[in-house]
């Protein structure tokens, strides 16, 4: 029974049930009049034009729905806010970890208590692949982003043929805004948010950045600026504002990242016309390293945690919760909250570090004391094995929830399989927005199941496959059976948060456990009900696993070759970076000569050689 409890992620039962309010009548009316089927013709008239226009285009019933919204000063379609946390572990938040964590997040806990929490939710193992899956509704293996992140010196991103969530909502008449961490391509303007369906964007383009000066660093060379604002669609070099400089022009403190992202979101909400539907994608840069303390008013109450590294991490996680509170408050002030769908998700398991793991030569930020209680940045995936960039559950099991007072009865848990790619078709279904000409989706529409609690539409998920240079392999989960093919699968130790160790009376040495790496060239399986912590040893494949192995092979064979292997570190990109001192689309035809600087490129060859041989898998 305990195994089932862990495998299902049912570690804490939500208690409060949200009440429907007067906006529910509007949602029921929209469903009754089948506005979803009329979206392409009706929505522009509902948002912009007169009653005569509605009647001519849509007929009386659709017109009546729009007119009711106009009179109530509300959008005829729900607003959507998608929030993504960076490097947050499955064992960090009490709605999923229960009493195993002492991190306090009251605003998020309130949303969960009145929403639907997903208990068997999967992401990819690292940043770019998960963000790509969220935006496209497709496995990143479909376009070559299955295992590694977008990097400032490599000329690739999400394929321009892919239709993103932002395109879907923009085409449906939504005002669309991107805030925070992009990390889906920036070597050319066409890969930036303004060209991918967002009306405005305020963002960092890449992976690992200071939370106070918005630079990324290369050891021994310096910091490089990477903060931008795009104030309109198709905003290239002529209108994109560079807000963060690097090298000797680095501004030591520009405000804390979570605070800046939140202020942007709140400003957008306050300035928004509530009669037009709103879509915000806010991708926080915490709790990713570097470990930098938020302002006191953004930390929340983390006084219960004594371990210094864990406490600093908790304060970073607490800044997300404070942000959620400010966004909820802004929505309520605009009378938009009841008609807003809020989705919260992380991007991968929390990074972990073995106490004896060397740090020499690492090209990313280190949080000290490194390896303390198995911590990297301070996150934990307890009780699951592994962490970020691992195929084990701790690397790919995520946390997620959905909240919508007007359309969803809250206080419930969803125990079916789910994947981050499911959010695109699910949100399209919930809002009545047409997906349009998307590529065939891997995401599954979970809306009916989340709304009614009936059924588990997804039966399998592929959260990990590594295609770099042949790669270590991949995994596929069908119900509770998990197949591993390849190996050895590394980054697979077990650890626990310091506060739990103290409650159990354990030392960190006693809490640390490192089972043998799984190595299954021909395939092996783990029953997640029998072995939820994947201690192993895994079982060899039997005849009953033939269909599962075939499904794995089919997905692996359908994968586009990994883009990381196809694009070397670009000398032109490095020259441009060293000359400017900040990230900029080096393949774009335009530039800002007045911002250019002069710098010796004597280090370029050494840097390129070092980067080509470096492990950059944790950089994003």
Would you state the pLDDT for residue 277? 97
Report whether 468 contacts 147 (CB < 8 A): yes
**What's the pLDDT at 508?**
93
| Domain membership flag for residue 599 | yes
Neighbour-count burial of 64, counting CB atoms closer than 10 A to its CB (0-12 exposed, 13-18 middle, 19+ buried): middle
Q: Which of 42, 46, 58, 183 is catalytic?
A: 183
Does residue 8 fall inside a structural domain?
A: no
| CA proximity to 280, closest of 204, 133, 179 | 179
- pLDDT value of residue 271: 98
Question: Which residues constitute the domain of residue 608?
Answer: 569-612
DSSP letter at 567 equals S
Tell me the two tokens of residue 558. 């359908």
Q: Is residue 139 part of a domain?
A: no
Report strand pairing: 116-122 vs 518-527. unpaired
Sheet with 340-346, edge to edge strand ranges: 241-242, 228-230, 200-204, 175-181, 278-283, 79-85, 340-346, 400-403, 116-122, 412-419
| Structural domain total, the chain | 1
Indicate whether 433 belongs to any domain. Answer: no
Catalytic residue among 46, 127, 367, 524: 127
Which tokens go with 535? 């201690």
Catalytic residue check, 367:
no
* Least confident piece of the model among 142-146, 186-190, 281-285, 367-371: 367-371
Q: Which residue has tokens 């929403």?
A: 115
Query: Does residue 591 carry a pLDDT above 60?
Result: no
Q: What is the DSSP letter of 480?
A: T
d(CA 30, CA 254): 45
In a domain, 600, yes or no: yes
Please give the mean pLDDT across all residues of the chain.
87
Q: How remote is the C-alpha of 58 from its chain's centroid?
A: 37
506-515 pLDDT, tens digit each: 999 999 999 9
Distance CA 292, CA 534 (A): 33
Active site residue 127: yes
Residue whose structure tokens are 């991949």: 474
Residue identified by tokens 């928004």 is 272
Closest CA to 112 of 20, 22, 17, 24: 17
Based on its alpha-carbon atoms, the radius of gyration of the chain, rounded to whole angstroms, reads 24
**Cα–Cα distance measured from residue 281 to residue 287, given in angstroms and rounded to the nearest whole number:** 17
Give me the residue label for tokens 């009936």.
454
Provide the pLDDT for residue 501.
97
pTM above 0.75, yes or no: yes
Q: For residues 471 and 603, give the distance between their C-alpha atoms in angstroms, rounded to a whole number.
A: 31
In a domain, 36, yes or no: no
Contact 226, 214 (CB under 8 A): yes
Kindly indicate the confidence band of residue 56, based on its pLDDT and cuts at 50, 70 and 90. very low
Q: Is position 236 within any domain?
A: no
Residue 574 counted as domain residue: yes
- Give the pLDDT score at 14: 32
Question: Residue 12: pLDDT above 60?
Answer: no
Q: Among 380, 376, 397, which Cα is nearest to 532's?
A: 397
Q: Residue 270: is it exposed, middle or buried by C-beta count within 10 angstroms (0-12/13-18/19+)? A: exposed
Q: What percent of the chain has pLDDT over 70?
A: 85
Residues in the chain: 620
pLDDT in tens, 237-277: 999 999 999 999 998 899 999 999 999 999 999 999 999 99
């Amino acid at each position: 029974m305990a195994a089932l409890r862990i495998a299902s992620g049912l570690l804490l039962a939500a208690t409060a049930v949200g009440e429907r309010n007067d906006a529910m009548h509007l949602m029921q009316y929209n469903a009754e009049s089948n506005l979803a089927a009329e979206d392409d013709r009706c929505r522009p008239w509902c948002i912009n034009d007169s009653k005569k226009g509605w009647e001519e285009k849509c007929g009386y019933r659709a017109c009546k729905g729009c007119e009711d919204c106009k009179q109530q000063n509300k959008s005829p379609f729900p607003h959507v806010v998608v929030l993504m946390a960076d490097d947050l572990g499955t064992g960090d938040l009490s709605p999923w970890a229960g009493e195993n964590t002492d991190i306090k997040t009251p605003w998020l806990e309130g949303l969960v208590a009145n929403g639907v929490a997903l208990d068997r939710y999967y992401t990819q193992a690292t940043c770019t692949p998960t963000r790509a899956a969220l935006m496209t509704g497709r496995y990143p293996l479909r376009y070559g982003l299955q295992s590694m992140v977008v990097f400032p010196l490599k000329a690739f991103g999400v394929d321009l043929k892919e239709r993103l969530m932002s395109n879907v909502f923009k085409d449906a008449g939504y005002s669309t805004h991107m805030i925070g961490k992009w990390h889906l391509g920036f070597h050319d303007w066409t890969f930036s948010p303004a060209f991918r369906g967002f009306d405005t964007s305020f963002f960092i383009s890449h992976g690992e950045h200071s939370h106070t000066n918005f630079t990324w660093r290369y050891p021994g060379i310096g910091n490089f600026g990477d903060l931008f604002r795009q104030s309109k669609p198709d905003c290239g070099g002529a209108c994109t504002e560079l807000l963060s400089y690097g090298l000797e022009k680095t501004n030591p403190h520009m405000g804390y990242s979570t605070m800046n992202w939140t202020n942007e979101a709140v400003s957008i909400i306050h300035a928004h016309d509530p009669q037009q539907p709103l879509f915000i994608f806010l991708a926080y840069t915490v709790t990713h390293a570097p470990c930098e303390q938020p302002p006191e008013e953004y930390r929340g109450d983390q006084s219960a945690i004594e371990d210094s590294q864990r406490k600093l991490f908790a304060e970073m996680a607490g800044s997300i919760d404070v942000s959620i509170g400010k966004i909820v408050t802004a929505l309520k002030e605009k009378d938009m909250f009841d008609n807003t769908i809020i989705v919260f998700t992380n991007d991968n398991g929390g990074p972990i570090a073995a106490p004896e793991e060397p740090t020499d030569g690492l090209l990313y930020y280190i949080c000290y004391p490194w390896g303390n209680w198995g911590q990297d940045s301070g996150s934990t995936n307890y009780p699951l094995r592994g962490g970020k960039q691992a195929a084990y559950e701790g690397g790919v099991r995520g946390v997620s929830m959905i909240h919508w007072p007007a359309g969803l009865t809250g206080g419930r848990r969803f125990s079916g399989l789910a994947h981050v790619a499911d959010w695109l078709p699910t949100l399209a279904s919930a809002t009545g927005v047409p997906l349009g000409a998307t590529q065939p989706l891997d995401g599954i529409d979970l809306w009916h199941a989340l709304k009614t609690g009936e059924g588990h539409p997804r039966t399998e998920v592929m959260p990990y496959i590594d295609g770099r240079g042949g790669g270590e392999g991949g995994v596929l989960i069908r119900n509770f059976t998990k197949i591993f093919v390849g190996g050895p699968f590394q980054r697979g130790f077990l650890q626990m948060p310091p506060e739990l160790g103290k409650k159990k009376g354990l030392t960190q040495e006693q809490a640390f456990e490192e089972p043998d790496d799984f190595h299954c060239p021909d395939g092996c399986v783990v029953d997640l009900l029998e072995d939820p912590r994947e201690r192993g040893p895994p079982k060899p494949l039997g005849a009953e696993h033939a269909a599962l192995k075939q499904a794995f092979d089919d997905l692996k064979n359908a994968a586009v070759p990994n883009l990381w292997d196809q694009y070397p570190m670009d000398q032109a990109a490095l020259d441009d970076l060293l000359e400017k001192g900040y990230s900029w689309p080096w393949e774009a035809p335009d530039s800002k000569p007045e911002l250019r600087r002069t710098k010796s490129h004597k280090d370029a060859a050494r840097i390129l050689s070092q980067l080509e041989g470096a492990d950059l898998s944790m950089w994003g």
